[in-house]
Chain A
Amino acid sequence: MKNKISVAAGTSKNNKTGAWRSYRPEIDFEKCTGCGICESVCPEPCISNSHKINKMGKEVRQIDYDYCKGCGLCAAECPFKAISMKIEKK
């Protein structure tokens, strides 16, 4: 019998670590300048470009709450204070 010791790439996505979260980051659609700093500091990573354009004409970032653990790094590092941490209601 052969033992399968290799696994497919990126399959950790099966674990919805968003369940860990007690604070929920929320991006203010109109404040976001699309700089991408939040995206670069998220350890999961679970922030991406939504390609949705706000009134400033900027591409707003979006958070995948299936994986966000609510660490707050994105909110702490956003230079425009466009992300706020709200208590998660579950």
Chain B
Amino acid sequence: MTKQYQALSPGHTACAGCGELLAMRHALQAAGPDVIVTGATGCSEVTTSGYPDSSFGMPWIHSLFENSSSVASGIAAALRYQKKQDKIKVIATGGDGATFDIGFGALSAMWSRGDDILYICYDNEAYMNTGVQASGATLPGTSTTTSPSGAVEQGNMMPKKDMPAIAMAHGCVYVATASPGYPIDIQNKVKKALTMKGPKYIQLLSPCVPGWGFSTDQAVKLGKLAHQTGLYPIFEAVNGQITSAMKVPKPTPSVSAYLELQKRFKHVLKNPQLLATIQAIADANIVKYGL
């Protein structure tokens, strides 16, 4: 009997109940063994690759926080030179901080070059590995260590960057979002992406136990509620056109069903104006994506 390929082995040091490692495991398992993966600094890297151990089953390379895309481009160029580009696929990965902010220039360049690379973002909506600082992926109203809720400000003041739209504007052939609430959907989207040539982007919602403040058994439930409330639209787009979106239940649960399970939104439930702002984001998503 041949030993089954395991993309992610246990013994990593992610928090008990980590939604990021759960999302990553399904994505990388679906990609299969014939891949080379680059990882940016962040929880997905720190918890899995403490020297001299690795949790990964495929060649996996970490360089810096900001250059996962650039390293991936170099690997793709080397594979082209060796004429192995059809046999071995390249995947670049990073957290939301690495993707939306710090590695954004390199990512934009990778997409602009049209490199045949799938970029996967683990979106836990803040810089978690360094202790929950707000990023370009943080929702308005979220309490983080750099956007605490107090008398003057009620959490993060900035909108969440629309990275999928930014990816589409770069001409990505495939753009999708998914969540560990629906592991098979993650797997299907990764498999589909890897059949396409050109730049691709998949953004995985990644519930974070200490960063969001929920009990360790809730990552999957939150992954579902984020979608069901309309706050995290799950969809795919081919060549810039939205081709499918996962419908929300009707009647649609209000965003408070999702927010009330998380400490980062505790103050929001006591602030009707802020709650309405967040509900409006979900309502707009439902209209925009036809959820």
A interface residues (Cβ-Cβ under 8 A, vs B) = 7-17, 20-21, 40-46, 64, 66-67, 69-73, 75-77
Known contacts A8-B54, A10-B55: A71-B17 contact under CB 8 Å: yes
A57 to B43, CA, bound (A): 41
Give the distance to chain B from A34, nearest Cβ to Cβ, in Å: 17
Interchain residue pairs with CB less than 8 A apart (17) = A10-B6, A10-B54, A11-B9, A12-B50, A12-B54, A14-B53, A17-B10, A17-B11, A17-B12, A17-B13, A21-B16, A41-B180, A43-B17, A43-B25, A69-B17, A71-B16, A72-B17
A25 to B11, CA, bound (A): 17
Instruction: Scan B36-71; emit 1 where CB is below 8 A from any A CB, else 0.
Output: 000000000000111111111110000000000000
A10 to B8, CA, bound (A): 7
Contact in complex: B16, A12 (CB < 8 Å): no
Contact in complex: A44, B183 (CB < 8 Å): no
Contact in complex: A73, B54 (CB < 8 Å): no
Residues of the B chain whose Cβ atoms lie less than 8 Å from the Cβ of A76: 217-218, 220-221
Tell whether B167 is near chain A: CB-to-CB under 8 Å.
Answer: no
Q: Which of A10, A13, A46 counts the most B-chain CB atoms under 10 A from its CB?
A: A10
A72 to B17, CA, bound (A): 7
Beyond known contacts A10-B9, A43-B18, A72-B217: 5 more, CB 8 A cutoff: A12-B9, A12-B53, A20-B16, A41-B219, A70-B216
Contact in complex: B10, A46 (CB < 8 Å): yes
Q: Which of B10, B12, B18, B48 counts the most A-chain CB atoms under 10 A from its CB?
A: B10
Contact in complex: A11, B52 (CB < 8 Å): yes
Contact in complex: B55, A12 (CB < 8 Å): yes
Give the distance to chain B from A81, nearest Cβ to Cβ, in Å: 13
Q: Which of B135-176 contact A (CB under 8 A)?
A: none
Known contacts A45-B8, A72-B217: A15-B18 contact under CB 8 Å: no
Output the nearest chain B residue to A4 by Cβ-Cβ distance.
Answer: B52
Residues of the A chain whose Cβ atoms lie less than 8 Å from the Cβ of B9: 9-13
A20 to B53, CA, bound (A): 19
Known contacts A9-B54, A20-B16: A73-B216 contact under CB 8 Å: yes
A13 to B221, CA, bound (A): 28
A41 to B16, CA, bound (A): 12
Give the distance to chain B from A51, nearest Cβ to Cβ, in Å: 12
Q: Which residue of B8, B16, B57, B58 is within 8 Å of A69 (Cβ)?
A: B16
Tell whether B21 is near chain A: CB-to-CB under 8 Å.
Answer: yes
Known contacts A76-B217, A76-B218: A44-B52 contact under CB 8 Å: no
Residues of the A chain whose Cβ atoms lie less than 8 Å from the Cβ of B106: none
Contact in complex: A71, B217 (CB < 8 Å): yes
A45 to B21, CA, bound (A): 9
A10 to B16, CA, bound (A): 19
Output the nearest chain B residue to A5 by Cβ-Cβ distance.
Answer: B51
Contact in complex: A9, B57 (CB < 8 Å): yes
Tell whether B14 is near chain A: CB-to-CB under 8 Å.
Answer: yes
What are the 6 A-B residue pairs with the smallest beta carbon separation, nearest first? A72-B217, A71-B17, A67-B10, A12-B11, A69-B16, A71-B16
Contact in complex: B221, A40 (CB < 8 Å): no
A7 to B16, CA, bound (A): 25
Contact in complex: A11, B220 (CB < 8 Å): no
Tell whether B22 is near chain A: CB-to-CB under 8 Å.
Answer: yes
Q: Which of B57, B215, B216 counts the most A-chain CB atoms under 10 A from its CB?
A: B216
Residues of the B chain whose Cβ atoms lie less than 8 Å from the Cβ of A16: 11
Tell whether B19 is near chain A: CB-to-CB under 8 Å.
Answer: yes
A44 to B25, CA, bound (A): 9
